[in-house]
Amino acid sequence: MPIHRHADPSYDVVVVGARAAGAATAHLLARSGLRVLLVDRGRYGTDTLSTHALMRGGVLQLSRWGLLEKIIAAGTPPVRRATFRYAEAVVPVTIKPSHGVDALYAPRRTVLDPILIDAAVASGADVRFGIAVTDVDRDRHGAVTGVVGADGIRSTIAERVGAPFERVGTSAAAITYGYWSGLETDGYEWNFRPGAASGVVPTNDGQACVYASASPRRIGRGGLAPLTRIVAQSSADLAGRLAAAVPPRALRTFTGQPGHLRRSWGRGWALVGDAGYFKDPLSAHGLTDALRDAELLARGIITVADGADERDALASFQATRDALSTALFDAIDVIAGHRWTDEAIPSLLLQLNAAMADEVEALAALPPPPPPSDQRRSTRSSPEMQLIHSMSVHCARA
């Protein structure tokens, strides 16, 4: 039975969902002097259904926030090479140093998410776990009052505020993955053959995450048998090395969901991360975009706290998000459909690559973040601010 509970009205913003998008947003808002409550129905430090390859934009964000050193200190191995295999081609790509990033990283979510949450706490955010948000409160004009929905693909906040879908994908691939020990690999590996894709993501504790992606029918309930079949179809080379490594006891399986871009803001609410923008995991880009959009949204909210017009600030957040997302969204939707041929895949991968390069340039061009504020921003005296003022949500103890 849900408990109807009002959050402490002394907060400026409540962020719902304490993983990549929500913890990063809470960190940036609290760092700027806003009073932030971050809630999650789950538990601190737990794993989630996700592999964890970060692309350059994501690493750039962590570096800018001073958190990359913690990822490295946790023993996350640097990735300095990505190998693409498609048709009969093998294309190794060296990760060149640029924008202060000289390697990519793929921290387990049990490493990345707590680092972001700890940063939010260190910046002054209050964090509460075991709180499942079931609804948002509205003021007497019907406006939601100060909620950021970072609550993932099936966002309750998006549903309760009625955030419309602005783009919906046409494809849903399934993916099954697990962690191998002793696998010979020298970086990210991405393999694409018609009807079958697979890859390797080196991660913490000397393990390598290996995944296989195909239609939901081919993956079925997932596990070692379909993974081995799909890896063999997409790369004989990886299949050979897998056979010599120690397989996992259990694998995890995502049964697939089409991508979406939702409207990401309204009076008193905003969406960030998968809640607003989800695309197939084959993009290996959801985390990078979650960190990107946390930065873009937080910058917008901070300008509102400093007196900018809320509509302008949040509309600008969405415009930038969409401009940086749609090319990648469209390319990955085709790739996830597993309807391409050996002849078509190189140009689809080039489209992905171009979209990621544009994103890195846009992130690198952002002005440096302001230094942490040791002064509270005064927001309560600005009644016109819909996003940033006392708020409440309806919750249940999870």
Nearer to ligand FAD, 33 or 52 (CB): 52
Q: How many residues bind ligand FAD (CB under 6 A)?
A: 35
| 226-255 footprint of ligand FAD as x/- string (CB under 6 A) | ----------------------------x-
Cα(296)–Cα(311) distance, rounded to whole angstroms? 14
Cα(193)–Cα(230) distance, rounded to whole angstroms? 9
Nearer to ligand FAD, 284 or 313 (CB): 284
Distance of CA 159 to the CA centre of its chain: 19
Query: Closest by alpha carbon to 200, among 210, 212, 213?
Result: 210
Kindly tell me which residue out of 124, 256, 268, 281 binds ligand FAD, with binding defined by CB under 6 A: 281
Nearer to ligand FAD, 134 or 373 (CB): 134
Q: Which DSSP letter does residue 7 get? A: P
Is residue 146 involved in binding ligand FAD (CB under 6 A)?
A: no
Smallest separation (angstroms) from ligand FAD to the CB of 25: 9
Smallest separation (angstroms) from ligand FAD to the CB of 173: 10
**Contact between residue 180 and residue 248 where contact means Cβ atoms under 8 Å apart:** yes
Kindly tell me which residue out of 17, 33, 124, 222 binds ligand FAD, with binding defined by CB under 6 A: 17
Tokens 């340039």 correspond to 361
Query: Closest by alpha carbon to 112, among 158, 65, 148, 76?
Result: 76
Tokens 């195909």 correspond to 214
- Tell me which residues in 51-80 interact with ligand FAD (CB under 6 A): 51-53
Element (H, E) at 34: none
Nearer to ligand FAD, 294 or 385 (CB): 294
Kindly tell me which residue out of 22, 33, 57, 169 binds ligand FAD, with binding defined by CB under 6 A: 22
For residue 252, what are the CA distances in angstroms to 222, 226, 249? 7, 12, 10
CA angle 83, 86, 87 (to 5 degrees): 145
Kindly tell me which residue out of 33, 202, 256, 273 binds ligand FAD, with binding defined by CB under 6 A: 273
**Amino acid at the residue 124:** G
Which one of 1-9, 61-69, 138-146, 268-276 is the stretch in contact with ligand FAD (CB under 6 A)?
A: 268-276
Is residue 95 involved in binding ligand FAD (CB under 6 A)?
A: no
Nearer to ligand FAD, 124 or 256 (CB): 256
Strands ordered across the beta sheet of 252-254: 89-94, 81-86, 188-193, 196-202, 207-214, 174-181, 252-254
Is residue 285 involved in binding ligand FAD (CB under 6 A)?
A: yes
Element (H, E) at 156: helix 156-161
Is residue 282 involved in binding ligand FAD (CB under 6 A)?
A: no
Is residue 150 involved in binding ligand FAD (CB under 6 A)?
A: yes
Is residue 151 involved in binding ligand FAD (CB under 6 A)?
A: yes
Is residue 3 involved in binding ligand FAD (CB under 6 A)?
A: no
Smallest separation (angstroms) from ligand FAD to the CB of 88: 26
Cα(275)–Cα(318) distance, rounded to whole angstroms? 13
Is residue 16 involved in binding ligand FAD (CB under 6 A)?
A: yes
Smallest separation (angstroms) from ligand FAD to the CB of 127: 12
Report helix, strand and coil shares of the chain as percent, to nearest 5: 35, 25, 40
| 180-209 footprint of ligand FAD as x/- string (CB under 6 A) | ------------------------------
Kindly tell me which residue out of 14, 28, 68, 175 binds ligand FAD, with binding defined by CB under 6 A: 175
Burial class (CB within 10 angstroms; exposed 0-12, middle 13-18, buried 19+) of 96? exposed
Residues that bind ligand FAD (CB under 6 A): 16-22, 39-42, 48-53, 132-133, 150-152, 156, 175, 254, 273-275, 281, 284-288, 290
